[in-house]
Structure 1
Amino acid sequence: MTDVESIIGKPITSPLEEEGKQRWHIVRLICGFTSVLVVLYGLLFFMVSRELLILVPAFIFCVMFLGVMRLTARENYRLTGFLLQLVFCSVMIYYGIVLGNTAQVQYLSIFMISISALLFRPDDKRFIYASALLPVICLGMLELNYNLGWFPSVVFTYRQDQVFRWLILFVVILLNFLLLSLHQTKLVGLLRKSRELYFQLNITNQQLRLQAEQLEHQVLLRTEELNRLVQQLQGANRLKTAFLQENNHEVRNPVNSILGFTDRLIRHKRKPFISEQEELELLECIYSSSQHLRNIVSNVLDYSRLEAGKDIRLSYETFPCKEWLEQSVFVYEVMARERKVKIHRRIDDSLPDLITTDKTRLTQILFNLVGNAMKFTPRHKNIYIHCWQEEGWFMIKIRDEGVGIAAKNLESIFNDYETNDYAGGVGLGLGIVKKLTQLLNGQVEVSSVEGEGSMFKISIPMNQRAPE
């Protein structure tokens, strides 16, 4: 079905197809009606004249009309219409010769010429002209026969001739009434069809107008969606540009620290007297900066793997929990001393000696959270790290006294490239924290009061095993 048909709810046939079906029904009607008439008139004429030359051909013509009617089953209305006209011509010529000029069989030509327009579609002009020309030719042939006497007529009495003439006149009038009725039926059908089409077109116009409004609304929605996507892509492009800039800056800071501390260590080594404590402090600073640099590189590499659709492989191992925590926090305690920030550690006695999980990823999570707290905590403020066990879960809570996070930003704080304008940064740390915590079958929670600080809580199963 076409779009218009789906709107109207019914299949639409072309006007030419409708015309063809109408002609098909007209041919069947005329064939049936005239087959009855020709038999009836054959019997009447036989009763008047007792001539078999009138009766026998009447049955033959009846069979011919019924044969044309049978051919209509093929739905070739042009062929059946033309054959019907040929049968009418045969009737007019035969009975025109047999009954003679007095019977006025020639009046049938009026009906035959008029019916040509009903037998064919308006665009079949050649068939219409040929069909209308046939009775004219037959009429001319009859007139020539009457004048030249090619075929003699049957001799009837005057009274018989008058009876034939009036019967033929009656049937001509009857056939023309049939013709008028068919034209009237056609006109009424056209008017009804026009009215139906008018209402259908009104309904279609309303539905098309409604669909146009809906499509216009959808176009507006799609346009807004595309504009929003364009803005998101532009924003992502700006964030990636900022990421490259900030990444260079963050990598440069620990590298500069490593170079600076190494230079100081070399210069102190050249002096004749350097205390072991000073040397140890410089080495601790170099170690801390190196660990911080490695954490930045790990974040970028892990993010690249996730962006490429690759999985991060986990390596489970059993290790001393308290010793791991002290070593990990020590890295940032050195940096905290440089920044005048105090880190407070608290490890519950209930915490078991050993824990089984991915040590590298757990360290990366802790580094990111402590590094994030360091980034947003001003000088002479505190960072609190608390570890404990809770119903088989290893719990870590990091609370700082930094600038805090606005309530509207809490939901998006774990998005990639999301950062606080106060301290800058790459903005990958918290996103990596959430992804790694989920990989370790854990959860991360955040709460914050703007101007007072933030609190992050990590919960990870105590003992995990690599999947089989």
Structure 2
Amino acid sequence: MKAHQIWRSIRKTGTKGVADEELAQRIMMVNTLSFSLCCLSFLVGSVYFILSGKLSILIPASIECVLAATAVVLNNYRHYHAAALVTFFVQCMAAIYFGLLLGNVIELQAMVIFLFLITFLLFKKTSTRVICLISAVVILMIIEGNYYFHFVNQVPLDLQLTVIFKALSIAGVLLVILVVGRPYVLSKDRLHKTNHFKKIFIYQITHELRTQLNAVYYIAQLIKREIRLDPHLKKINPYIDLLFTVVGNTRNIINNVLDMSKIEAGKMEDVQEESFEIDAFFERLMAVHKVTAKTRNMQIQLQIDPKMPPVIICDSFKLSQAIANLLSNAVKYADRNSTIFLKLHKNNAQTWSIQVVNKGPGIEADKLSAIFELFVTNSPNRYTESTGLGLFIARNMVHALKGEIHAESQPQGNTTFTIQLPLQPGEVADVHETQEEDIDLSHVHIMVADDNEMNNILFSKYLSMCGCTITSVNNGVEVLQKLEQGHHLPDVILLDHKMPEMDGETTLYHLKKDPRLQNIPVIVCTGSFEFQELLMQAGACDIVIKPIDQPSLFKVISQHLPHFNEISAGSHPV
């Protein structure tokens, strides 16, 4: 058997059949440390004996070697905790013995400091760690005390032995640290690579989902517009509403996955406060869930406390994410033919509360404390779909808004989720709502750049129906070519982030370098807020998240065209 195979076998002794990865890591750590100390003690004792001919170091070093090896044997018989204790306290005894005899030569203070570090790697229980840390402190005090008061006579060494032992001690400590630390460095590298690939996987999958979702959304919008223009098509309106429901639910799932990734990475976006009317806001929020609830003969009722101000200031996106998850949860678990209540209440001048109440099987008492944790669900049977993300996301969104959320439930009765938030009344004059009918885009020239042909066609068709003049291209290279060839520059460019040949970020760089093109507003369409800062630094005037809803897009376009009123009136020069 080769040396590396022997080493691997020793290192993995006792790990067979161990499912707990953390425990397996600690077992391998004990084996690694024990074997390293065996080799080190044997080497030090042998060198001393060869150079001096004395047994005062070789015998205790051999004893240390044997005792350290017993840790591997204990692991083999699955006495894991005993093996860790043997490894630690054998090292403690060796530190005391050699520290007292060779304290002026060997840098055993460094080994004592090393004892502090391995305490946290070898032991999980706090009580054991405390005992080990106290032992290390005592050892350090004994060695330092002997250094000053000489209550144990040290072994005399000549200059040659002193130099050799100093070199061996430093090399030995570094070797043990390297051998013990290497697996953790490698595991961190593997974890980093795993997280990197996970991040790429999540982004690519969600990007592809959003691309297809975009197409469905545009088709639904086109049909919806045709229904408004042709009264004979109104009978299919309920089906289009169901289609919007599916798109909304799918978008909610994708957002939850991305939000979870951001929460895990500690990259939640800052709170973006705005003024909005609570009545219209919550009615819109309920609309998509009403369609789903209707399929189960449920109703959703909004009850607003008359004391509530009509306009409040809050981050509408985070609030809508929290409420959407609670409503989705309520519809999922409510009894058929029941009513779900969404209640808004003013508590006092500083706070207000939101309650989502449904009647159903209820949440078990032992789950109430954990229901907001990741992947915890309350699925009573296999027919109820649940990912365990919704309430986790809701809690984090509420906490980002500096609020609190809790749940109360009765068996076969009402389950109530209550959110309490700071209250900031707003002014009606500060509310800026952009409706489709309010904007005439008949004099606006928009360039659309998207590598997905279906999205490009549908998006361009949709904007054309709103009166826009459209120029469609498939990537950043074509954007620059069209702009160089054309005599009439577009009023705004809608630029997809991820495109072949030249992506959105590189295209922005070239646009902002050209004095002729640098003032054209560029709105970047992307699948995630993750790249918002990077794209804004590259020169984007705004970011819109796919699938793009029409009112939001029109609002963004109007905000970034200073001459929008002149364009709408037809007075803008072409």
Scaled by the length of structure 2, what TM-score is found?
A: 0.35
Higher relative contact order (CA 8 A, sep 6+): 1
Q: Which has the larger radius of gyration?
A: 1
Structure with the bigger percentage of helix: 1
Scaled by the length of structure 1, what TM-score is found?
A: 0.42
